Copies of this chain bind each other. A is one copy, B any other.
Amino acid sequence: MTIDEPFATGQAAQGSNDLEQPLPLSQALLLPRLVIENTTPVIEGGLYAAKAIVGQAVTVSSKVFADGHDKLAVILRWRPVRSESWHVVTMTDRGNDLWDAQFSVQEVGRFLFSIEAWIDRFASYCYELEKKFAAAVPVSLELQEGRLLLLQSAERSEGIGQQQLQRLHDGLPGMAIEDQVATLLKAETAMLMAQADHRAYLSRSHEFPLEVERERAQFASWYELFPRSITDDPARHGTFNDVHKRLPMIRDMGFDVLYFPPIHPIGRSFRKGPNNALQAGPDDPGSPYAIGSDEGGHEAIHPQLGSREDFRRLVAAAADHGLEIALDFAIQCSQDHPWLKEHPGWFSWRPDGTIRYAENPPKKYQDIVNVDFYAADAIPSLWLALRDIILCWVAEGVKIYRVDNPHTKPLPFWQWLIEDVRSHHPDVIFLAEAFTKPAMMARLGKIGYSQSYTYFTWRNTKAELQTYFSELNQPPWAYCYRPNFFVNTPDINPFFLHDSGRAGFLIRAALATMGSGLWGMYSGFELCESAPIPGKEEYLDSEKYEIRPRDFSAPGNIIAEIAQLNRIRRQNPALQTHLGIEFYNVWNDNILYFGKRTADRGNFILVAISLDPHAAQEAHFELPLWELGLDDHAATHGEDLMSGHRWTWYGKTQWMRIEPWHLPFGIWRIEKAL
């Protein structure tokens, strides 16, 4: 009697694609009757993959509805792209047409998911039968219709299902009316009928991609150092072998990623001297970002750091300490890079035959030249050569790349490179070092970057931090962008730290470690180094241009606190992501106060950070008892995760005092008092 064929999938089925003509009736009849819309997590209609982590639940939700009052059945299907067979999860109606379901996957790689929905005829029938019977309306005609539905389903079925449905159908006439109703309404019947359902008006969503990465894409603590500075004497260039002795201390601070700026040969032409001086002295080491000399390019190792064998041993030793090496991928060349001679067609040349170097008029960066991705001679050889640089280091065991200035290279290049590398090595992680406008920051995440640098260092006030942390928890950011909160970098010596003293470093460390699953620290931070070039957000005597030995046991350091913060992160799953943050009431604009909790509330952490490094701050605040299903007078257990101190709170409104000369923040685990 009715059209019950599944409706075609895909966008064309959702509406007229020919925008110039009114929808023809023949096409209208093929349009899906049910609407599946607003599916999450989806990036740009499914053009790019949403992000997920292996072993962690992905919640998929959709608005699903149809005309009229029929009951709907909605399922989520998912599969790895490498497999043809779908897993199926029944979706749950959460009200207001919102349906959701969860699944988690046990391997990294690309997955697909989609939603299917249809009119559940038997459920609709049962709903009406139950209401009528309860209201003592005569149902003999309804029972006749029920038998017909059983019969039709039996006819569509095979094997045991068919026999059971037929038996149900045949048994009904002999029963009393109330028994017939009970038989039709029982769960077993519903299950048999669901198996035999012909899925009337079946609608399908698009298939949406999901990129599943390993845990370190979302939860990691990065430590950045210049290997050449691991020396006791600025005149002696540190080496990979020197780094070995730093590993225990970095591990003990709780870091798990050890990141080096470029380790390749450094150009001699236009080499920069200390503090970015235009002229380098003969012994100045130069910026490692001026990559390439006659000793090699991006696949070579700067000879003063050691040999390839030394590098391999360092990678292995780091791994033994639970540390994974991350390398810098900076697509730029010194004027001595071998490519300038081997591949002049990869670069831009000026009418006088000179090469076009980097400029920000009137500033000139003659030590750096950039490749031209769309030069005729660069396609596809340059693209392949750049991809091969990554593959070369992957072969050395490096699976994490911090990419320098990706926003100044074409987006299609990155999309291709990341997909290509990850198709063979799905455990490779890319961190985008883009500091630019928000649209590009998000876009780099959408096209494949695992994680990203952020505006964190420029968010200082309570309003700024709440707005920023909240925004990163909202779409599209929540689905495409994992923020790595670096507290400092060789390029960024935050103004806030210039005169904040030790308390300021503790404030920023607490904000970063508690705010996101990903944070990073450039060495010197733990020693509260902050001497700037006056008036600038840059370090004086920047390590980018000189060798900077350090005394890592200098007094006043915050090594113990950093170690404890990282320990707290490892022990509390709620802190292993930037997602799931909620801000609560505290009546003091100098105190940022928020909660992080796992979806099941099994791990619930409260964080209060004073943003004032100088004076004590105190305030009343609210414990989020409602989140734990408790009333306003309930008792809860608190535990100070920095000190281990435990207590019981009574009621919702509490009071705190934060003394920055002691510790400018509090981190408390809260749980129901039983």
Scoring A residues 376 to 414 as 1 if CB is less than 8 Å from chain B, else 0, what string do you get? 100110011000000000000000000000011111110
Instruction: List residues 335-366 of chain A with CB under 8 A from any CB of chain B.
Output: 350-352, 354, 359-362
Tell me, yes or no, whether A654 is within 8 Å of chain B by CB: no
Q: Are B420 and A374 in contact (CB under 8 A)?
A: no
The minimal Cβ–Cβ distance linking A346 to chain B, given in whole angstroms, is: 11
Residue pair A410, B33 in contact (C-beta under 8 Å): yes
Judge if A182 is at the interface, Cβ distance under 8 Å.
no
User: A411 contacts which of B20, B35, B351, B362 (Cβ < 8 Å)?
Assistant: B35
Knowing A380-B29, A407-B67, A411-B33, say if A19 contacts B132 (CB, 8 Å): no
Copies in the complex: 2
Stretch at the interface among A437-445, A455-463, A485-493, A595-603: A437-445
Partner of A69 from B2, B32, B128, B408 at Cβ < 8 Å = B408
Q: Are A415 and B31 in contact (CB under 8 A)?
A: yes
Chain B positions within 8 Å of A408 at CB level: 67-69
**Which residues from B are CB-within-8-Å of A19?**
46, 81, 110, 112, 207, 209
The answer to whether A560 has its CB under 8 Å from any CB of chain B is no
Does the CB pair A413–B28 fall under 8 Å? yes
- Residue on B nearest A19 in the bound complex, by CB: B209
Is the CB of A96 closer than 8 A to any CB of chain B? yes
Rounded to whole Å, the gap between the CB of A403 and the closest CB of chain B is 13
A175 at the interface (CB under 8 A from B): no
A23 within 8 A of B: yes
> For A375, what are the chain B residues with a Cβ–Cβ distance below 8 Å?
1-2
Stretch of A140-148, A163-171, A227-235, A505-513 that contacts chain B: A140-148
Q: How far is A135 from B359 in the complex, measured between Cα atoms in Å?
A: 13
Instruction: Compute how far the CA of A559 lies from the CA of B31 in the bound complex, rounded to whole angstroms.
Output: 48
**Cα(A145)–Cα(B349), bound, Å:** 11
Q: With A48-B15, A412-B29 known to touch, is A141 a contact of B351 (CB < 8 Å)?
A: yes
Instruction: Give A440's nearest chain B residue, CB to CB.
Output: B65
Instruction: Give the chain B neighbours of A21 by CB distance below 8 A.
Output: 81, 423
Instruction: Write the chain B residue with the least CB distance to A407.
Output: B67
Q: Check A81/B20 contact, CB under 8 A, given A3-B374, A359-B128, A411-B35.
A: yes
Task: Return A144 CB to nearest CB of chain B, in Å.
Answer: 5
As a 0/1 sequence over residues 99 to 142 of chain A, the CB contacts with chain B under 8 angstroms (1 = contact) are: 00000000000101000000000000000100110110100010
- Complex: A159 Cα to B397 Cα, angstroms: 62
Contact, CB under 8 Å: B384 / A25: yes
Q: Which of B23, B409, B413, B415 contacts A420 (CB 8 A)?
A: B23
Choose from B81, B362, B443 the contact partner of A132 (Cβ within 8 Å). Answer: B362
Bitwise, A2-37 to B at CB < 8 A (1) or not (0) is 110000000100111001111111001101110101
Please name all residues of chain B whose beta carbon is closer than 8 Å to the beta carbon of A411 when the two chains form the complex: 31, 33, 35, 67
Decide yes or no: A33 and B412 within 8 Å by CB, A97-B439, A135-B361, A376-B2 being known contacts. Answer: yes
Q: Is the CB of B25 within 8 A of A97?
A: no
- Which residue in B16, B68, B96, B412 is a CB contact (below 8 Å) of A28? B412
> Closest chain B residue to A26 by CB distance?
B380
Task: Choose from B38, B131, B437 the contact partner of A362 (Cβ within 8 Å).
Answer: B131
The closest CB in chain B to the CB of A82 belongs to B20
CB of A366, distance to nearest CB on chain B (Å): 13
Q: Is A77 an interface residue (CB 8 A)?
A: no
Contact of A31 among B28, B112, B384, B412 (CB under 8 A): B412
A614 within 8 A of B: no
| Contact, CB under 8 Å: B144 / A351 | yes
Closest 3 A/B residue pairs (Cβ)? A135-B362, A28-B416, A31-B412
A-B contact pairs, 11 of them (CB 8 A): A2-B372, A11-B11, A14-B47, A15-B47, A24-B416, A28-B383, A28-B413, A28-B415, A67-B408, A132-B362, A145-B350
Known: A28-B383, A145-B351. 10 other contacts (CB 8 A): A2-B376, A15-B415, A19-B112, A67-B407, A67-B410, A97-B437, A128-B361, A132-B362, A134-B362, A135-B361
